[in-house]
Amino acid sequence: MKKNSKLLSILPYAVILVCFLIIPTSIDKMFWYAAFISILAKMIASVGLRMVSLGGDMSFAMGAFMGLGAYGAAIMVTKWSFPFWAAIILAAVFAAIVAVLTGIPFARLRSIYYCMTTMFLGIFLIYIFQSFDWTGANTGIKQIPKLFGGKPAINYWYFLALAVVCIFCMWRFEKSRIGNTLKAIAQSHEVAASMGVNERFYRLMAIGVAAFFCGVAGASYALYYGSVVGSTYGMTLDLWIIMFFMVGGKDDFFGPIIGAALLGVVNEGSRTFGSYAPFLACAVLLLVAYLLPGGLASIPRTIKKAIDDKKMKQVDISAFSSGSDGKEA
Amino acid sequence: MFTGTIWLGIGVNTLMLASMYIMAALGFAFIFNMLGAINLAHGNIYMIGAFIAYAICYYTGLPNWLSILIAALITAAFGLLLERFAIRPFKDDFSRIVMVGVALMFIFQTSATLFTGTKTLSIPLLAEGTVRIGALGISNQKIIMFVIAVVILAIVLFITNKTKLGREMKAVSQDRLGAALQGIPINRVAAIVCAIGCGIATIAGGLMGSYQSLSSGMGDTITLRILMLVMMAGAGSMNGIIVTGLIMGFLDAFFPVLLSGSLATTVTLFVVIVILLIRPKGFFGHEM
């Protein structure tokens, strides 16, 4: 029984992985490779957002941390001619350091003030890069040497492997003692603090880990794409990452993964409709908001609850009928 | 280094921008104070209202002030629907209200982009000519915008401070359950307030659209300004947004004089972040 339930819990991940293995290799390769690489990069960022949300915060700056990684890697490769792997890792560390340093004063803020101020922070960080000529101002950094010579197929396999490794690392992080501590802080930070938990330290650690993986995703994407433009890492990207996270559902680890996969495929697939494209993704958002309060990942739970309720109802009815029998007698 | 003329120019721009920001932010701030819900689509109602005003003006040939007024009525009616279908069902669920807000935001932006195409659109100016004060020329358009804003803000302040509706709004923002127990119809009050807010935001959008040109990006810009302004004022503060609106207006009028384009926005954002870090609940706010 236990083995069975473990298999069941791995099943959705396996299904998503198989989809990602089959779909881009079987149809219109060039288009779907590019689309899926972008989806995978945003998926890593939205799972990173889940790490932050474990501690009860919602950071609106995830897109900006991707942007930090992207700019960092681009500068290191073009200006200082670092090797690719060193640039990716150092850029990710840079994003994590910035996230932790800004996180120290931000720990004062709570709930909606935290969300909104991190949104301003994200826009601010990207605007810094857009303000100076050394980082390319508004036109961004162009002509970055491309990862694997810019071949889509190898890049796609690299991104898939990267996503699997990053998501597995974050899964381990969530299941570790740190993850449990963060969940305790999310439930009540006063109680957690009274138990001797250094609340601020754990929240900083969560944002650092999240920003590191966002940085890895952003740096890899910049090196694959060959150019970095600040405006692509602005408010819209922040909001899309949050949408991926929320459509999937914020109560399950699987949530951001299915959210990014579904919404990303809808969003990229509807490119063929030209400028009408965003309507389809918005329709998905509205449908999920109205019909699935817990997000996509809550569907099995909702069905199970419905079945249980039905069973409960049957029990109730039998109890009621026996009661009425008693009255008659 | 600054002469009197430059300071006077900054002062005029501050008042003009601040009045527009406050008008655009009113609806958002009311809903945020009363229900604790953030309606991210509100900034784009400002934008779509300006587009509706342009469309009425362009296709029917009505005078510009009348088309802005009709657009305000249309968006006010839309505000009723918005409150009923996008805010009321989700007001206690942060993630779903953000989802609906973002979806509406993208829908409005895409519609506006489709409508604009590659053209540059602009509502005709409300008033031509300039008034000269010393070496400084102030366009009549700016003066008219400011006067309209002051009149509207005076009416809104009268409503919030002196009438029954205003007292009901205050009661709801202090304690929703308590207000409901006293027999205040929370949903009806929220709907009326949302309609008023959307209408006023449209007037601001229309005025701004006749001063500058229309673009689908103006929704994003104003959304960011609204969020900064309301967060600086803090939750539960009805009159505080006028103070923070003036601060926002000053920042946006002052820094572009000193610094170039995006650097000015960077510094503005930095100042706002620092203010929020020093006052984590805003100037006049309370815990959420």
B288 and A289 in contact by Cβ < 8 A? no
Question: Could you tell me which residues are beta bridge partners of residue B121?
Answer: B214
How many domains does chain B contain in total?
1
Q: What is the ipTM of this complex?
A: 0.88
* SS3 category, A141: strand
Share of chain B above pLDDT 70, in %: 98
Q: For residue B237, tell me if it sits in a domain.
A: no
Count of beta carbons in the 10 Å neighbourhood of residue B80: 14
Q: For residue B144, tell me if it sits in a domain.
A: yes
Question: Got the DSSP string for A55-81?
Answer: TT---S-HHHHHHHHHHHHHHHHHHS-
The list of chain A residues with pLDDT below 70 reads 1-3, 28-29, 314-329
A120 and B277 in contact by Cβ < 8 A? no
Chain B residues 10-29 with CB within 8 Å of chain A: none
Q: For residue B172, tell me if it sits in a domain.
A: yes
Beta carbons of A217 and A44 less than 8 angstroms apart = yes
Give how far the C-alpha of residue A16 lies from the chain's centroid of Cα atoms, to the nearest Å: 15
Query: Whole-angstrom Cα distance, residue A217 to residue B208?
Result: 39
Out of A119, A132, A250, name the one closest to residue B227 (CB): A119
Contacts of B70-74 spanning 24+ positions with Cβ under 8 A? B71/B202, B71/B206, B72/B199, B72/B200, B72/B202, B72/B203, B72/B206, B73/B199, B74/B49, B74/B202
Q: For residue B31, tell me if it sits in a domain.
A: yes
Mean pLDDT of B13-36: 88
Q: For residue B1, tell me if it sits in a domain.
A: no
The H or E element spanning position B139 is strand B136-139
pTM above 0.80, yes or no: yes
Mean pLDDT of B157-185: 86
Q: What's the domain range around B41?
A: 27-219
Distance from CA of A170 to the nearest CA of B (A): 22
Each residue of B230-272: pLDDT tens digit? 888 887 777 788 888 998 899 888 888 888 778 888 888 999 9
* pLDDT score of B174 more than 90: no
Out of A127, A279, A281, name the one closest to residue B269 (CB): A127
Query: Whole-angstrom Cα distance, residue A326 to residue A77?
Result: 84
B227 and A116 in contact by Cβ < 8 A? yes
Q: For residue B205, tell me if it sits in a domain.
A: yes
A127 and B224 in contact by Cβ < 8 A? no
